[in-house]
Structures are given as C-alpha cells and as structure tokens.
Amino acid sequence: MKKMLGILAAVLLLGACDNSPRMVLYTWSGMFPQEILSGFEMDTGIRVQYVNFDYNETLFARLQADRRGSYDLVIADDYMLETIIQAGLAMRLDRSRLSNYSNIDPFFQGHFYDPDDGFTVPYGSGVVTIVYDPQLVDFPINSYADLWNPALEQRLGILGQFRVINGMALKVMGESYNTNNLDTIRAAGNLLLQLAPNIRLIRDDSLDDELLSGEIAAAVMYTEMVTEAIRARRDLRMVFPSEGIGFGIMAAFIPRNAPNPEAAHAFLDYILDPQRGAECFTYLGYYSTFAASNPYIATELHEFLILPEAFKNLDTMEMIMNVSDEARELHNRIWTEFRSAAGQ
C-alpha cells in the first residue's frame, strides 16, 4: 500500500532556521498535506525533514544498516512493521506523551504486526477494490472471478503487488491470502495464468488516470486510487469483491535509535487531534483510522474515507500477512511467469 511510488532523493526542508530542533520523517511521498507539516513546525518550532523511500523493503534495508540513527518517525505497511518490530528496530511508544491516543479507532488496533499496540499508531487503511466503467463493460462485475471474463481481454489494469494479485486467484478458489500450502499456491498460479489475456496494465500508480482516460475498462486498485477515480467520475462502479475484502493498514513507529523521539511523539499527538486527523485523511485518500476524526470529514467524502461498520468483521476481511520463505519464493516465481504471460 502506497500513496505514490516515485523516489524523491532530495530532502524537503520545511521552514525554520538550521539550529532549530528537527524531526526526520521517513515514508512515501505525499503522505501529509503541507498545511499539517507547516502547522506543526509553526506550533512547535520543530523543523520537519521529509525523506522518501520507494518500497517497504528499501526501508527495512536502510533501518538495518542505520547505525547512527537517521530517522525519527517512519510510516510503513503492516507486513513490514511485523518484520521491523521482530528485528528489534522499533522503539516502544511512550503513551504518556500521546494525550490524543484515545482518538484511534480500536478496529485498527491489536493486529498481527503489533498485537499489544506497543510500537505503532495506525495512519490510514486501504482495501483492495475493483472499479469499472459501465460505459465500457457490458456486464456487471461483482467479484474477482468476474475479472476472468473474456469480454475484458486487454482491458484490465491491476496493481503490481504480487501478494495482492496472486491472492485474487486464491480468493476465487476460496482460500486464504496467507496459505502456506504450496500445492494450493501452485493451483492459484495456474488459475492466474488464465487471467493474463485480460491484462492491459500492471502498475502501482496512475491506474485511476488510465481508467478515467479509457485506456482500461476495469481496474483492481488501492483505496487512494479508487477515491481519486470516483471523485472525478461518479458514474464509475466501485465493487467490494464478493469473495471477501482484503485490507491493509499503514502505521507510524519510532525507530529504536531515533535521535529525537520527543519530536516524533509530539508529531504523532499533533496529527491525532480530531480535526487535524480529518485534514490528513481527506488529503491522503485512505480510510480514517482515527474514530474521533470521522465527524470532521465532509459528508460527501464519507463513502471514501470512513470504513463502513458492516465491513468491520474479520470473518469477511483478511489482511495479507507474511508467509513462509518457501511460500514467498513460489509466489515470486508465479508472479514472474504471470507478468511474462501478460506481456508486462
């Protein structure tokens, strides 16, 4: 799950003089509105340095190699958070510094990557969603299985996240995203190959633009892209697949050797304010993970930014978790073969 994939090698410096205290924020680009970053700087006198990475794996490698402590606050995806915490690379939160901590929606707490919520603050959640243009697709799409329809030949765009896409085939088979059964994963790979003729694009960014332009007729997208597409064209159809909803959570943590954990705690408490949180999620385009922020989100944006209560059921929603090394290697081989068959 990512706001954007582009790497910004340069560091964004936000106001203030060089000798002022600073907080180094390490995450994907485009995760906070400028008003929030500037407001925090103005209110606290703490200068924010915003540094970007491209993939979660890049982040993990940097943290492993970072002996001197380069980052104060990091936001990453759930599966990588589990790896980081297990590797001892995260600092336990000091909740006495987080006066707004109770504003978090409990549904987004207590998950596999941080069961006791000792290390992380959830910042945005997304679900894997299908969106299609009813002017270009002459049959109803209600499920992942419908994407295999030959009528979609060369008309489908999908994400470039192999566990999400391989997982679609698993869900069509009635299996878990997180199975470690190699025979089941192989069978899903064979099913996925049958989807290859329908694939027009595989990418993790701009799928919403391609759907709006008519380059593709249907897409499997992250929440942020879905939000942008539907807000631009209200006639597009948004589908929560009948096989079950896959969802993920982004969360913030403080690295074990952060040079300024006090500033990191201050920033977390700043964005946990209900109104500021609402401003963040309106900009971000992912589901709000702060329950107290929901009343401050514009009514016309509720369907995009507030996860429906009916979906808050882990019997019908499933998070993509880390699997065995053997299962992951097989997923990688399947993904390589699928991309080749799809001409990508």
Per-residue model confidence (pLDDT) at position 166:
96
pLDDT at 314 over 60: yes
Quote the pLDDT of residue 244.
87
Q: How confident is the model at residue 54 (pLDDT cuts 50, 70, 90)?
A: confident
172: Cβ contacts below 8 Å, ≥ 6 apart: 143, 144, 145, 148, 191, 243
Q: Are strands 47-52 and 12-14 parallel, antiparallel or unpaired?
A: antiparallel
Q: In the chain, what are the domains?
A: 12-125+248-307 (3.40.190.10), 127-246+315-341 (3.40.190.10)
Please, which residues have CB within 8 angstroms of residue 161's CB and are 6 or more apart in sequence?
204
Residue 257 φ then ψ, to 5°? -110, 30
d(CA 239, CA 141): 7
> What is the tens place of the pLDDT at every residue in 222-258?
888 998 899 899 999 999 999 988 889 999 999 999 9
| Cα gap 174→84, rounded to integer Å | 31
Task: Kindly state the tokens that stand for 301.
Answer: 């944006």
pLDDT by residue (tens digit) across 7-35? 333 344 444 445 789 999 999 999 999 99
pLDDT score at 18: 58
